[in-house]
C-alpha cells in the first residue's frame, strides 16, 4: 500500500480493517518518510503480522521503528535496534546520508469490539525530525482517540500525516490537526507519553510498565536461542513480575516470625519431653516399689487365710472320717454284744438241756463263748480307739477353727489397712474389682492358689499404673511404705503353705 497516506481523502482504497475481539488488538502500523519508505502501511490479520522478503529489504527496520519503540519512546540505539548496536543512530534512519533535513512518522493502530457491537480505535505515533549538523533528533509523540465510540479518528480516513502536496506535517501542523479538533493529544516528552499509553492499554503502573518494556527488548533480540543471556533474561522476567502486595509481605514476615517462635517453642517442648522422660523413668521405679510394698500385706494376709482355710477343710474332712469310724465302731460293738448275748443264751440253753450235757458240747460252747468274749473285747477296743480318734479330730478341728478365725481377722485387717492407704496413694481403683479385696471370705476360701497368684499379680500391675498417674509426696510415701512393710511381713508369714509353717496335729 505504498503512497496510501499521500492519496487524497477521495481516493479509492480498501476498507480499513476492523477489530474482532473485545480486548485491544493491533490492526495496522505505518511508516512515513523513514528509512527507505516514503509512506507504507502494514495490516495485521487477527492480531498477527507476517513480513517476508530478501535480506536488506527492511523487515527488521519496520519492527525496530514501530515496536516496541512506540511503547518505550526511547531513542537510544540500544533500545531501538534489535542487535543493540550503539552505532546505528536514529538520525541515520531519517537522513540516510542523502537528506539535509527530513521529518518522518511511525504509528500503530489498535482496535477492539465493545459489548454493544461498536468499535473503538486507538492510534499511537511518534514524529521525528533530523537535520545535517545536528546530533540530536527532535521527537514528539501523539495519541489519536475520540470522546466516544464511533468518534475515534483513523489515519488514512479521518487524519492524514501529509498535506495534499504530499509534504509531511510538521509538529505544529499536526497539533492543529489533532488537538484543535479534539481528536487526540500531542506529547512533548516521552515520560508523559508512556504514562498515557500505560493508562489506556495496560494499567500496570510506572515500575511494572518499565519492566515490561525491558522484557520486550530482551525477547526481541535476534537469534535469542543461539546466544541467550540467562542472567539478563532472568532479570528482565523478574522485573516484569507484579510487585507483591504489602499485605502479603506482612503476612510472610509474620509467618517467618511465627516460624521462629515455633522453633523456640519446639526446642522448649523437646527439653521438657526429655525432662519428663527422665522423671518418668525414676518415678516408675519408685511407684513400682511403693506398689509392691502396699500390695505385699494383702497378699500375705490372703496367703494366711488360704492356709487356714485349707487346714480347716482338712480338719473337717478328718472329723467326718472319725465320726464315720465312730459310728462303724458303735455298730460293730452293738453287733458283738448281740452275738455275745446270743452265745450266752445258747450256752445257757445247752447247759440246761439234759440231752446236751456231754463234755464235748460243753467244751465247744465254752470255746464259742470265749471267742465271743474276745470279739466283744475287740469291739470295745475299737470303740475306745474310735473315741480317742474322735477326740483328737475334735481338738484338731478346734485348733483349725481358731487358726481360721485368726487368719480371717488378719485378712480383714489387711483389707482395711490397704483400703485406707490406697485412697491417699491413688491406688483405690485397683482394689475395686480385684478378687483379693472384692470376694467374700467364704468364696475366697474356695479360690485355687494359682488364680490367687494371678489376682495378686494383676493387683500389683494396676497399682503400679495408678501410682505413675498420681505420685504421692515423699513424706507420705515413706510413711505408707513403713506401714505396708510391716503388714507385708506378717502377711507373708500367714500365707505360707501348711507344710512350711510348722503346722502339727
End-to-end CA distance of the chain: 141
pLDDT band, very low/low/confident/very high, at 8 (cuts 50, 70, 90): very low
User: Count of H helices and E strands in the chain?
Assistant: 15, 6
Asked if residue 493 has pLDDT above 50, the reply is no
- Do 372 and 473 reside in the same domain of the chain? yes
- CA 57, CA 248: separation in Å to the nearest integer? 51
- Do 276 and 194 reside in the same domain of the chain? no
DSSP three-state, residue 405:
helix
Percent of the chain with pLDDT over 70: 79
> Cell numbers 521405679 correspond to what residue?
285
- Do 195 and 275 reside in the same domain of the chain? no
- Do 360 and 460 reside in the same domain of the chain? yes
Residue 470: predicted pLDDT: 58
How confident is the model over 349-394, as pLDDT tens digits?
A: 877 766 666 666 667 778 888 888 888 889 889 988 888 989 998 8
- CA 417, CA 275: separation in Å to the nearest integer? 35
Q: What are the residues whose beta carbons fall under 8 Å from the beta carbon of 292, sequence distance 6 or more?
A: 460
Q: What are the residues whose beta carbons fall under 8 Å from the beta carbon of 207, sequence distance 6 or more?
A: 243
Q: Please, where are the H alpha helices in 188-245?
A: 190-197, 206-219, 230-240
Q: Give pTM, 2 decimals.
A: 0.47
Q: Point out which residues pair with 128 in neighbouring strands.
A: 104, 139
Containing structural domain, residue 157: 25-203
What CATH code is carried by the domain that includes residue 147? 3.40.1140.10
- CA 277, CA 283: separation in Å to the nearest integer? 10
Residue 229: predicted pLDDT: 67
- Do 192 and 317 reside in the same domain of the chain? no
- Do 362 and 467 reside in the same domain of the chain? yes
Residue 23: predicted pLDDT: 92
Percent of the chain with pLDDT over 90: 31
Q: Is residue 337 part of a domain?
A: yes
- CA 469, CA 164: separation in Å to the nearest integer? 105
Q: Point out which residues pair with 103 in neighbouring strands.
A: 129
Number of independent structural domains in the chain: 2
Q: Is residue 225 part of a domain?
A: no
Could you please report the per-residue DSSP string of 112-164? EE-TTS-EEEEEEEEEEEEETT-SSPEEEEEEE--SSTT----BTTTB-SB-T
Q: Please give the backbone phi and psi of residue 249, each rounded to the nearest 5 degrees, phi first.
A: -60, -40
Choose one of 150, 184, 203: the last residue of a domain.
Answer: 203
- Do 363 and 455 reside in the same domain of the chain? yes
- The total of other beta-carbon atoms located within 10 Å of residue 451's CB is 10
- CA 242, CA 260: separation in Å to the nearest integer? 28
Q: Is residue 493 part of a domain?
A: yes
Choose one of 171, 203, 235: the last residue of a domain.
Answer: 203
Choose one of 159, 174, 203: the last residue of a domain.
Answer: 203
- Do 40 and 173 reside in the same domain of the chain? yes
Here the cell at position 408 is 480371717
Give Cα 367 distance to the centre of its chain: 109
Look at 88 and 185; give whichever has higher pLDDT. 185
- Do 467 and 353 reside in the same domain of the chain? yes
Q: Is residue 10 part of a domain?
A: no
Residue 296: predicted pLDDT: 85
- CA 335, CA 375: separation in Å to the nearest integer? 10
- Do 183 and 108 reside in the same domain of the chain? yes
| pLDDT average, residue stretch 48-77 | 88
Q: Is residue 235 part of a domain?
A: no
Look at 240 and 341; give whichever has higher pLDDT. 341
Distances (CA, A) of 125 to 17, 166, 196, 426: 18, 19, 12, 93
Q: Is residue 84 part of a domain?
A: yes
- Do 98 and 197 reside in the same domain of the chain? yes
Q: Is residue 17 part of a domain?
A: no
Look at 407 and 426; give whichever has higher pLDDT. 407
- CA 387, CA 39: separation in Å to the nearest integer? 154
Here the cell at position 113 is 469490539
Q: Is residue 12 part of a domain?
A: no
Residue 226: predicted pLDDT: 57
Residue 254: predicted pLDDT: 82
> Cell numbers 467364704 correspond to what residue?
442
- Do 179 and 275 reside in the same domain of the chain? no
How confident is the model over 123-144, as pLDDT tens digits?
A: 999 999 999 988 889 999 999 9
Mutual angle of helices 230-240 and 206-219, in 10-degree steps:
150
Amino acid at each position: 500500500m505504498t503512497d496510501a497516506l499521500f492519496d487524497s481523502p477521495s481516493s479509492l482504497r480498501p476498507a480499513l480493517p476492523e477489530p474482532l475481539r473485545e480486548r485491544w488488538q493491533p490492526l495496522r502500523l505505518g511508516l512515513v518518510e523513514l528509512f527507505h519508505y516514503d509512506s507504507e502501511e502494514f495490516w495485521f490479520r487477527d492480531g498477527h503480522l507476517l513480513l517476508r522478503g530478501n535480506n536488506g529489504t527492511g523487515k527488521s527496520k519496520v519492527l525496530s521503528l514501530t515496536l516496541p519503540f512506540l511503547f518505550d519512546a526511547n531513542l537510544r540505539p540500544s533500545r531501538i535496534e534489535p542487535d543493540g548496536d550503539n552505532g546505528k543512530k536514529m538520525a541515520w534512519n531519517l537522513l540516510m546520508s542523502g537528506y539535509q533535513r527530513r521529518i518522518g512518522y511511525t504509528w500503530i493502530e489498535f482496535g477492539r469490539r465493545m459489548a454493544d457491537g461498536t468499535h473503538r480505535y486507538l492510534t499511537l505515533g511518534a514524529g521525528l525530525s533530523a537535520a545535517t549538523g545536528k546530533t540530536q533528533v527532535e521527537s514528539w509523540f501523539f495519541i489519536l482517540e475520540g470522546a466516544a465510540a464511533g468518534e475515534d479518528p483513523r489515519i488514512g480516513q479521518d487524519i492524514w500525516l501529509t498535506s495534499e502536496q504530499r509534504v509531511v506535517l510538521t509538529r505544529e501542523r499536526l497539533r492543529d490537526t489533532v488537538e484543535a479538533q479534539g481528536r487526540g493529544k500531542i506529547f512533548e516528552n516521552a515520560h508523559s507519553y508512556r504514562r498515557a499509553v500505560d493508562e489506556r492499554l495496560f494499567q500496570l503502573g510506572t515500575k511494572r510498565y518499565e519492566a515490561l518494556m525491558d522484557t520486550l527488548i530482551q525477547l526481541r533480540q535476534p537469534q535469542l536461542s543461539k546466544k541467550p543471556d540467562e542472567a539478563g533474561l532472568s532479570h528482565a522476567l523478574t522485573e516484569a513480575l507484579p510487585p507483591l502486595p504489602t499485605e502479603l509481605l506482612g503476612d510472610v514476615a509474620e509467618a517467618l516470625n511465627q516460624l521462629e517462635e515455633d522453633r523456640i517453642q519446639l526446642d522448649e517442648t523437646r527439653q521438657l519431653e526429655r525432662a519428663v522422660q527422665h522423671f518418668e523413668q525414676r518415678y516408675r521405679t519408685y511407684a513400682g516399689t511403693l506398689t509392691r510394698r502396699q500390695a505385699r500385706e494383702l497378699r500375705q494376709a490372703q496367703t494366711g487365710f488360704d492356709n487356714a482355710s485349707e487346714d480347716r477343710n482338712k480338719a473337717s474332712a478328718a472329723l467326718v472320717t472319725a465320726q464315720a469310724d465312730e459310728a462303724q465302731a458303735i455298730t460293730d460293738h452293738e453287733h458283738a454284744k448281740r452275738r455275745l448275748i446270743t452265745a450266752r443264751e445258747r450256752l445257757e440253753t445247752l447247759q440246761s438241756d439234759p440231752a446236751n450235757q456231754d463234755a464235748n458240747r460243753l467244751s465247744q460252747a465254752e470255746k464259742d463263748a470265749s471267742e465271743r468274749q474276745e470279739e466283744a473285747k475287740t469291739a470295745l477296743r475299737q470303740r475306745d480307739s474310735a473315741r480317742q480318734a474322735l477326740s483328737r479330730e475334735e481338738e484338731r478341728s478346734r485348733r483349725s477353727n481358731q487358726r481360721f478365725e485368726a487368719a480371717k481377722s488378719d485378712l480383714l485387717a489387711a483389707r482395711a489397712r490397704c483400703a485406707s492407704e490406697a485412697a491417699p496413694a491413688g491406688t483405690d481403683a485397683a482394689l475395686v474389682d480385684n478378687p483379693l479385696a472384692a470376694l467374700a471370705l467364704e468364696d475366697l476360701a474356695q479360690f485355687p492358689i494359682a488364680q490367687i497368684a494371678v489376682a495378686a499379680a494383676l493387683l500389683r500391675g494396676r497399682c503400679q499404673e495408678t501410682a505413675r498417674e498420681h505420685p504421692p509426696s515423699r513424706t507420705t510415701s515413706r510413711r505408707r511404705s513403713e506401714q505396708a512393710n510391716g503388714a507385708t511381713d506378717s502377711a507373708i508369714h500367714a500365707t505360707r503353705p501348711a507344710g512350711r509353717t510348722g503346722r502339727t496335729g
